[in-house]
Chains A and B, each alone.
Chain A
Amino acid sequence: MTKSDDEIPKLSKSLCLRMLTDLENAKRPVLEAVKCSLDNSLYSPKVGYLTPGDKMVRTELNVASVQKMSRAIFLLEILLRNLDTGAVNTKRELYYIAKGEVKHDPSLKPLDFQDQTESDSVIDFICEMLECYREDLNCYANDRGGQTYSNCLIVTEALPDGGKAVVDLSSLGTSPFQPKNRPQSLTLKAKKKIDFCLVVESEGTANTFVTNGFCKRNNSILLGAQGVPSNAVRGWCKLIQDQLKIPIYFFGDLDAYTMQNIYRTLKAGSAASLIRNSDFSAPDVRFLGVLPEDIKRYDLNDYPVKESDPSEARSLKKASDALKNDPFFKDKKNRGVVKILEWLLKNKRRCEQQSFFTVAPRDPIMPEKIILEKIKRGDFV
Chain B
Amino acid sequence: MARQKITTSSTAEYFSKNLQQVGFSSPTKAVLTTLKEAVDNSLDACEDAKILPDLYIEIKKAGAGTIKNTDLIKIIVEDNGPGLEPDEVPKVFGEYLASSKFGRGRCSRGQQGIGISAATTWAQLTSAKGVQVITKTPKMKQAFSCLVLVDIKNNKGIIKDKKPVQWDRPSGVRVEFLIDGRLQLQGEGGLLTYLMGTSLVNPHLTLKFKILDQAVQKVERVTQECPHVPDATEPHPHTMKLGEFIGHSHLFGKSTAATWLKRGFSRISSKALEDFVKNGLNKKLLEVTVDKLTDAQFKEIFAAIHKTELMAPTTRSVMTIGEEAFSQSIRRLGEVDFFAVLTRRPTICDFKPVAVEVAIARLKSGAVNVGELNANEETSVQVLRFANRVPLQFDKSACAMVKAIETVNWRTYGIVQPKGSLPQGPYVIAVSLVSPFIKFKNASKETVDASDELVEEIRRALIQAGQRLSRHIRQENRAADLEEKMRHIEQFCPILVDCLCRITQAPESRKKKATEGLVKLLGRDVNVAKLQLQEATQEAKKAKAAGKLQVVDDESLADVEADDSAPKTIAKKSAKVKTDEKIA
Question: Which A residues fall within an 8 A CB radius of B?
Answer: 12-13, 16-17, 19-20, 22-28, 61-64, 66-67, 69-70, 73-74, 76-77, 80, 107-108, 110-111
Q: Which residue of B lies closest to A12 (CB)?
A: B503
Measured CB to CB, the closest approach of chain B to A73, in angstroms, equals 4
User: What are 24 A-B pairs at a CB distance below 8 A?
Assistant: A13-B503, A16-B500, A17-B504, A19-B500, A23-B513, A24-B517, A26-B517, A26-B520, A26-B521, A61-B518, A61-B521, A62-B522, A63-B485, A63-B529, A66-B496, A70-B492, A70-B495, A70-B499, A74-B495, A74-B499, A76-B499, A107-B494, A107-B495, A110-B491
Q: Is the CB of A77 within 8 A of B517?
A: no
Q: Is the CB of A23 within 8 A of B502?
A: no
Other than A20-B497, A107-B494, give 19 A-B pairs with Cβ distance below 8 A: A12-B503, A13-B503, A16-B503, A17-B504, A20-B500, A23-B500, A23-B521, A24-B514, A24-B517, A26-B516, A26-B517, A63-B485, A66-B522, A70-B496, A74-B495, A76-B499, A77-B502, A107-B495, A110-B492
CA gap between A28 and B493 in the complex, in Å = 13
Q: Is the CB of B525 within 8 A of A63?
A: yes
Q: Is the CB of B525 within 8 A of A62?
A: yes
Q: Which residues of B contact A26 (CB under 8 A)?
A: 516-518, 520-521
CA gap between A62 and B264 in the complex, in Å = 73
Measured CB to CB, the closest approach of chain A to B393, in angstroms, equals 37
Would you call B419 an interface residue if the criterion is a C-beta within 8 Å of the partner chain's C-beta atoms? no
Residue-wise interface mask of B (506-530) relative to A, using a CB-CB cutoff of 8 A (1 in contact, 0 not): 1000100111111011100110010
Q: Which residues of A contact B491 (CB under 8 A)?
A: 110
Partner of B492, one of A16, A23, A66, A77: A66
Q: Is the CB of A66 within 8 A of B499?
A: no
Would you call B489 an interface residue if the criterion is a C-beta within 8 Å of the partner chain's C-beta atoms? yes
With A66-B496, A70-B495, A73-B499 known as contacts, the answer to whether A24 contacts B510 (CB < 8 A) is yes
CA gap between A77 and B488 in the complex, in Å = 21
CA gap between A151 and B184 in the complex, in Å = 77
Q: Which residue of B lies closest to A17 (CB)?
A: B504
Measured CB to CB, the closest approach of chain A to B224, in angstroms, equals 53
Q: Which residues of B contact A66 (CB under 8 A)?
A: 488-489, 492-493, 496, 522
CA gap between A228 and B517 in the complex, in Å = 48
Q: Which residues of A contact B518 (CB under 8 A)?
A: 23, 26, 61
CA gap between A24 and B521 in the complex, in Å = 10
Would you call B501 an interface residue if the criterion is a C-beta within 8 Å of the partner chain's C-beta atoms? yes
Q: Is the CB of B517 within 8 A of A63?
A: no
Q: Is the CB of A77 within 8 A of B503?
A: yes
Measured CB to CB, the closest approach of chain A to B364, in angstroms, equals 28
Q: Which residues of A contact B513 (CB under 8 A)?
A: 23-24
Measured CB to CB, the closest approach of chain A to B553, in angstroms, equals 29
CA gap between A66 and B529 in the complex, in Å = 16
The majority secondary structure among interface residues of chain B is: helix
Q: Which residues of A contact B488 (CB under 8 A)?
A: 63-64, 66-67
Partner of B497, one of A13, A23, A28, A80: A23
Measured CB to CB, the closest approach of chain B to A71, in angstroms, equals 9
Q: Is the CB of A20 within 8 A of B495?
A: no
CA gap between A108 and B510 in the complex, in Å = 21
Q: Is the CB of B500 within 8 A of A73?
A: yes
The majority secondary structure among interface residues of chain A is: helix
Q: Which residues of B contact A23 (CB under 8 A)?
A: 497, 500, 513-515, 517-518, 521
Count of B interface residues, CB-CB < 8 Å: 31
Measured CB to CB, the closest approach of chain A to B251, in angstroms, equals 61
Q: Is the CB of B521 within 8 A of A28?
A: yes
CA gap between A147 and B529 in the complex, in Å = 57
CA gap between A17 and B506 in the complex, in Å = 9
Measured CB to CB, the closest approach of chain B to A105, in angstroms, equals 10
Q: Which residues of B contact A108 (CB under 8 A)?
A: 495
With A24-B510, A111-B495 known as contacts, the answer to whether A63 contacts B520 (CB < 8 A) is no
Measured CB to CB, the closest approach of chain B to A119, in angstroms, equals 15
CA gap between A61 and B515 in the complex, in Å = 13
Q: Which residues of B contact A73 (CB under 8 A)?
A: 496, 499-500, 503
Q: Choose among A17, A19, A20, A76 the residue with the greatest number of B CB atoms under 10 Å from its CB.
A: A20
Q: Is the CB of B504 within 8 A of A16?
A: yes
Measured CB to CB, the closest approach of chain B to A122, in angstroms, equals 13
Q: Choose among A24, A64, A80 the residue with the greatest number of B CB atoms under 10 Å from its CB.
A: A24
Q: Which residue of A lies closest to B519 (CB)?
A: A26
With A20-B514, A26-B517 known as contacts, the answer to whether A67 contacts B492 (CB < 8 A) is yes
CA gap between A135 and B335 in the complex, in Å = 57
Q: Which residue of B lies closest to A76 (CB)?
A: B503
Measured CB to CB, the closest approach of chain B to A26, in angstroms, equals 4
Q: Which residues of B contact A70 (CB under 8 A)?
A: 492, 495-496, 499
Partner of B517, one of A12, A13, A25, A111: A25
Q: Which residues of A contact B497 (CB under 8 A)?
A: 20, 23
CA gap between A24 and B496 in the complex, in Å = 13
Q: Which residues of B contact A17 (CB under 8 A)?
A: 504
Interface residues of B in 6-26 (CB under 8 A from A): none
Q: Which residues of A contact B495 (CB under 8 A)?
A: 70, 74, 107-108, 110-111
Q: Which residues of A contact B516 (CB under 8 A)?
A: 26
Pick the 6 closest A-B CB pairs, nearest first: A110-B491, A23-B514, A26-B517, A63-B485, A63-B525, A73-B499
Q: Choose among B488, B495, B506 the residue with the greatest number of A CB atoms under 10 Å from its CB.
A: B495
Measured CB to CB, the closest approach of chain A to B487, in angstroms, equals 8
Q: Is the CB of A20 within 8 A of B499?
A: no
Q: Which residues of B contact A20 (CB under 8 A)?
A: 497, 500-501, 504, 506, 510, 514
Q: Which residue of B lies closest to A110 (CB)?
A: B491
Measured CB to CB, the closest approach of chain A to B384, in angstroms, equals 36
Q: Is the CB of A77 within 8 A of B521?
A: no
Interface residues of B in 54-113 (CB under 8 A from A): none
CA gap between A229 and B144 in the complex, in Å = 90
CA gap between A66 and B493 in the complex, in Å = 8
CA gap between A20 and B516 in the complex, in Å = 12
Residue-wise interface mask of B (110-144) relative to A, using a CB-CB cutoff of 8 A (1 in contact, 0 not): 00000000000000000000000000000000000
Q: Which residues of B contact A62 (CB under 8 A)?
A: 521-522, 525
Q: Is the CB of B492 within 8 A of A13?
A: no
CA gap between A16 and B503 in the complex, in Å = 7
Q: Is the CB of A63 within 8 A of B494?
A: no
CA gap between A369 and B525 in the complex, in Å = 70
Measured CB to CB, the closest approach of chain A to B515, in angstroms, equals 8
Q: Which residue of B lies closest to A28 (CB)?
A: B521
CA gap between A26 and B516 in the complex, in Å = 8
Residue-wise interface mask of B (361-387) relative to A, using a CB-CB cutoff of 8 A (1 in contact, 0 not): 000000000000000000000000000
Q: Which residues of B contact A24 (CB under 8 A)?
A: 510, 513-514, 517
CA gap between A26 and B492 in the complex, in Å = 16
Q: Which residues of A contact B514 (CB under 8 A)?
A: 20, 23-24
Measured CB to CB, the closest approach of chain B to A127, in angstroms, equals 17
CA gap between A16 and B511 in the complex, in Å = 13
Q: Which residues of A contact B522 (CB under 8 A)?
A: 62-63, 66
Q: Which residues of B contact A67 (CB under 8 A)?
A: 488, 492
Q: Is the CB of B500 within 8 A of A63?
A: no
Q: Is the CB of B520 within 8 A of A69?
A: no
Q: Which residue of B lies closest to A20 (CB)?
A: B500
CA gap between A110 and B499 in the complex, in Å = 14
CA gap between A16 and B496 in the complex, in Å = 10
Measured CB to CB, the closest approach of chain B to A200, in angstroms, equals 43
CA gap between A73 and B495 in the complex, in Å = 9
Q: Which residues of A contact B484 (CB under 8 A)?
A: 63
Q: Is the CB of B496 within 8 A of A69?
A: yes
CA gap between A43 and B521 in the complex, in Å = 41
Interface residues of B in 372-411 (CB under 8 A from A): none
Q: Which residues of A contact B525 (CB under 8 A)?
A: 62-64
Measured CB to CB, the closest approach of chain A to B558, in angstroms, equals 26
CA gap between A73 and B496 in the complex, in Å = 7
CA gap between A80 and B499 in the complex, in Å = 12
Q: Which residue of B lies closest to A15 (CB)?
A: B503
CA gap between A23 and B529 in the complex, in Å = 21
Measured CB to CB, the closest approach of chain A to B442, in angstroms, equals 35
CA gap between A27 and B517 in the complex, in Å = 8
Q: Which residues of A contact B510 (CB under 8 A)?
A: 20, 24
